[in-house]
């Protein structure tokens, strides 16, 4: 990089926007509300409820192999997968491909959802979900973010911030339409964009070869031999070499034109030679095997015969023109306005994953990503917050995939006959309610449900081992929906193994019992719900990033209302 003298600049290159360091609360009706990072409504870790099982799933021991269709806001669902110990161990760092096709923020409205957010709302909504996706991605995983021109330029800067500019791999241009009405004010837009970022340098993409088009074949592969059509290529490269690659062969001295020999190895034919074979021996073998065409006229150079069959096809690059948008007659069309073609997902999934890998889409809409992943024998997690969309599109579609009756293009391409299954989960309602301005426990948060909700907030693995309901390392958890006094503490201690510590949460605490616990089992704690959980949210929000807090408090002076509809 060119050095600039003088005072060195500080700070980093980033996109700023209104309320960048605040958070957004997603409401059931699809609107968002600005709030502070420590607000329980955004900090809470929601439980995930089993709602249904479709097709066949695995035994409890292999539960992580199940495909999941989760109904709820993507942020809640991703936070639960990241934070609930019973999910985190199976999903954090395990997602090989995240493909997301969020609302593009076109300023319009579709039959199934509105697509008009104020830019700052859209950017914050995306940033928060991208951060969670980053934690879920495997070290060799990648994310593909599908957008159009409405936000793609701003989104790329946010992606740089979340995934690191060094992990940007490419932008795939998908030409989705061929014709547009005559351009008067602007040129007709015919494409959408996919921003591709890797989690780290370890991510590898699998090359995909497409057949050559007829015109190209005719112009390049006009000649044929016993291996079929071939084109001619160089057997030399620029630069004089002192070794045997710079010495004459077949009467030609490559150094005379400042070049040296290079030996391609078609079909591994050269592997038959000893490791120390000279360049001339390799060229002789290539000639014997029919891979070299000697010139007819003196002074011309031998050429390499590049066979069409060995080339295989054109490698897929970053401009995709061969996948059509779904037309009204397409068999896989479900009347979901923004449904993407299965062949698009087929290509992405085959480039970014191997069979058995885990694919995530947290804006799954009609279920395209999950349907294709299932048919390509990948595991999947899909999230969608519209109940209507889940019930009328994703669930029936994925059930048909399991039954082998769906009409998608990938069914035909792969010969898919059905099989497997998936679990349907719901993001559980909040464990809190607001009563007269005070945050209290919701009506459902009692007994076992309260115990599970507390485990979720404090990162304990739930267990059914009365009087205990969770554990983390040597800590055992008891949740008491009522007063914790000395009697309760004595009872709990009488059940506690000698080498373990006690964590007690109660809705009311008699201060005397704190001393008792401190004396009887040092390192044990007693906390009051919901207060201590609410305090933890604020503390965690502060700890996450001091910079965040500074900027958030500046921004919090005047939170502006979020505009959510057009």
Q: Give 112 or 236: the residue with its C-beta nearer to ligand SAM.
A: 112
Instruction: State in angstroms the smallest separation of the CB of 329 from ligand SAM.
Output: 18
Question: Which of the residues 12 through 51 are near ligand SAM (CB under 6 A)?
Answer: 26
The yes or no reply on residue 363 touching ligand SAM (CB under 6 A) is yes
| Closest CB to ligand SAM among residues 74, 158 | 74
Q: Which is nearer to ligand SAM, 368 or 457 (CB)?
A: 368
**Quick check: 48 and 427 in contact, CB under 8 A?**
yes
Residue 565 · residue 118 · CB < 8 Å: no
Q: What is each CA distance from 103 to 148, 227, 248, 534, in whole angstroms?
A: 10, 50, 63, 32
Neighbours of 68 (CB within 10 A): 23
- Asked if 340 is part of the footprint of ligand SAM (rule: CB under 6 A), the reply reads yes
Number of residues that bind ligand SAM (CB under 6 A): 22
Say whether residue 291 binds ligand SAM (CB under 6 A).
Answer: no
Closest CA to 523 of 503, 509, 507: 503
Q: How far apart are CA 245 and CA 51, in angstroms?
A: 68
Instruction: Provide the β-strand partners of residue 233.
Output: 304
CB of 323 to ligand SAM, least distance (A): 13
Q: Which stretch binds ligand SAM (CB under 6 A): 237-245, 324-332, 350-358, 361-369?
A: 361-369
Nearer to ligand SAM, 104 or 291 (CB): 104
Closer CB to ligand SAM, 338 or 507, in the complex: 338
Task: Return the percent helix, strand and coil in the chain, to nearest 5.
Answer: 35, 25, 40
190 alpha-carbon distance from chain centroid: 26
Closest CA to 566 of 116, 31, 111, 119: 116
366 belongs to the binding site for ligand SAM (CB under 6 A): yes
For residue 289, CA distances in Å to 224, 248, 267, 338 come to 15, 20, 11, 54
Chain position carrying tokens 């069959």: 309
Count CB-CB contacts under 10 A for residue 143. Answer: 28
DSSP calls for 98-134:
EEE------SEE-SS-EE---HHHHHHHHHHHHHHHH
Q: Which stretch binds ligand SAM (CB under 6 A): 357-365, 468-476, 522-530, 558-566?
A: 357-365
Strand partners, 191: 175
Report the residue number, 307 or 338, with the smaller CB distance to ligand SAM.
Answer: 338
Using CB under 6 A as the binding rule, whether residue 368 contacts ligand SAM is answered as yes
Residue 175 CA, distance from chain mean position: 23
Which residue in 30, 51, 96 sits closest to 395, CA to CA?
Answer: 51
Return all residues near 286 (Cβ < 8 A) that are at least 6 apart. Answer: 263, 264, 266, 269, 270, 292, 304
Place of tokens 């997902």: 345
Given candidates 37, 38, 103, 229, which one binds ligand SAM under the rule CB under 6 A? 103
Contact 378, 353 (CB under 8 A): yes
Q: How far is the CB of 10 from ligand SAM (least distance, A)?
A: 35
Question: Using the rule CB under 6 A, is 279 a contact of ligand SAM?
Answer: no
Residue 386 interacts with ligand SAM (CB under 6 A): yes or no: yes
Nearer to ligand SAM, 199 or 397 (CB): 397
Piece of 212-220, 262-270, 274-282, 365-373 that binds ligand SAM (CB under 6 A): 365-373
For residue 192, state whether it binds ligand SAM (rule: CB under 6 A): no
Stretch that binds ligand SAM, among 170-178, 262-270, 293-301, 383-391 (CB under 6 A): 383-391
Which of 37, 365, 420, 470 is the binder for ligand SAM (CB under 6 A)? 365
Distance CA(83)–CA(63), nearest Å, equals 17
Q: Which of 80, 120, 389, 507 binds ligand SAM (CB under 6 A)?
A: 389
Does 392 help bind ligand SAM (rule: CB under 6 A)?
A: no
**132 contacts ligand SAM (rule: CB under 6 A):** no
For 207: left if phi > 0, alpha if psi spans -120 to 50, otherwise beta; the answer is beta
Segment interacting with ligand SAM, rule: CB under 6 A, options 177-185, 187-195, 336-344, 524-532: 336-344
The C-alpha torsion from 335 through 340 and 344 to 350, rounded to 10°, is -100
Which residue shows structure tokens 């001339």? Answer: 280
* Contact region with ligand SAM (CB under 6 A), list: 57-65, 213-221, 247-255, 331-339: 331-339
Site stretch for ligand SAM (CB under 6 A), options 98-106, 215-223, 469-477, 528-536:
98-106
Residue among 370 and 533 whose Cβ is closer to ligand SAM: 370
Backbone angles phi, psi at 223, to 5 degrees: -110, 160
Q: Please, which residue, 120 or 167, has the CB nearer to ligand SAM? A: 120
Q: Report the residue closest to ligand SAM, judged by CB.
A: 365
Binding segment (CB under 6 A) for ligand SAM, from list 200-208, 227-235, 377-385, 459-467: 377-385
Task: Give the pair of three-digit tokens for residue 385.
Answer: 């917050």
x/- track of binding to ligand SAM for residues 45-84 (CB under 6 A): ----------------------------xx----------
**Which stretches of the chain bind ligand SAM, using CB under 6 A?**
26, 73-74, 101-103, 112-113, 336, 338-340, 362-363, 365-366, 368, 383-386, 389
């Amino acid at each position: 990089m060119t050095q600039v003298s003088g005072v060195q600049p500080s700070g980093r290159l980033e996109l700023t926007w209104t309320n960048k360091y605040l958070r957004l609360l997603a409401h059931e009706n699809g609107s968002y509300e600005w709030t502070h990072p420590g607000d329980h409504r955004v900090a809470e870790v929601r439980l995930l409820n089993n709602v249904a099982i479709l097709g066949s799933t695995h035994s409890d021991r292999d539960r992580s192999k199940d495909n999941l269709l989760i109904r709820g806001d993507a942020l809640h669902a991703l936070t639960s997968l990241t934070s609930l110990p019973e999910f985190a161990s199976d999903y954090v760092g395990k997602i090989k491909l995240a493909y997301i096709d969020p609302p593009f923020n076109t300023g319009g409205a579709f039959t199934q959802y509105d697509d008009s957010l104020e830019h700052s709302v859209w950017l914050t909504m995306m940033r928060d979900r991208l951060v969670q996706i980053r934690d879920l991605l495997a070290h060799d995983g990648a994310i593909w973010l599908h957008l159009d021109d409405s936000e793609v330029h701003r989104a790329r800067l946010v992606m740089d911030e979340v995934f690191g500019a060094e992990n940007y791999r490419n932008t795939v241009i998908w030409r989705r339409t061929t014709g547009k009405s005559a351009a008067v004010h602007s040129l007709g837009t015919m494409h959408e964009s996919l921003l591709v970022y890797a989690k780290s340098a370890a991510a590898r993409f699998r090359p995909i070869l497409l057949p050559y088009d007829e015109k190209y074949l005719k112009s390049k592969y006009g000649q044929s031999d016993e291996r079929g059509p071939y084109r001619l290529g160089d057997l030399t490269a620029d630069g004089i070499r002192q070794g045997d690659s710079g010495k004459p062969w077949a009467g030609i001295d490559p150094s005379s034109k400042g070049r040296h020999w290079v030996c391609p190895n078609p079909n591994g034919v050269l592997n038959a030679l000893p490791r120390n074979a000279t360049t001339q021996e390799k060229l002789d073998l290539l000639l014997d095997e029919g891979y070299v065409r000697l010139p007819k006229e003196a002074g011309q150079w031998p050429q390499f015969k590049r066979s069409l069959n060995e080339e295989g096809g054109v490698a897929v690059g970053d401009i995709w023109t061969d996948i059509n948008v779904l037309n009204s007659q397409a068999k896989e069309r479900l009347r979901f306005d923004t449904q993407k073609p299965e062949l698009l997902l087929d290509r992405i999934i085959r480039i970014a994953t191997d069979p058995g890998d885990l694919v995530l889409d947290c804006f799954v809409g009609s279920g395209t990503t999950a349907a294709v992943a299932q048919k390509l024998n990948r595991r999947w997690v899909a999230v969608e917050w519209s109940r209507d969309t889940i019930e009328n599109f994703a669930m029936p579609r994925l059930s048909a995939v399991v039954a082998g009756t769906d009409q998608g293009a990938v069914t035909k391409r792969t010969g898919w006959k059905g099989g497997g299954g998936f679990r349907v989960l719901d993001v559980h309602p909040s464990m809190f309610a607001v009563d007269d301005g005070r945050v209290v426990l919701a009506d459902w948060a009692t007994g076992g449900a309260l115990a599970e909700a507390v485990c979720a907030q404090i990162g304990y693995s739930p267990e059914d081992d009365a009087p205990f309901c969770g554990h983390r390392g040597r800590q055992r958890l008891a949740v008491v929906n009522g007063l914790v006094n000395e009697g309760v503490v004595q009872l709990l201690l009488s059940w506690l193994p000698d080498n373990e510590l006690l964590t007690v949460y109660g809705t009311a605490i008699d201060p005397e019992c704190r001393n008792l616990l401190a004396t009887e089992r040092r390192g044990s704690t007693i906390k009051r719900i919901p207060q201590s959980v609410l305090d933890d949210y604020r503390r965690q929000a502060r700890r996450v990033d001091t910079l965040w807090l500074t900027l958030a408090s500046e921004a919090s002076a005047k939170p502006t209302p979020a505009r959510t509809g057009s």
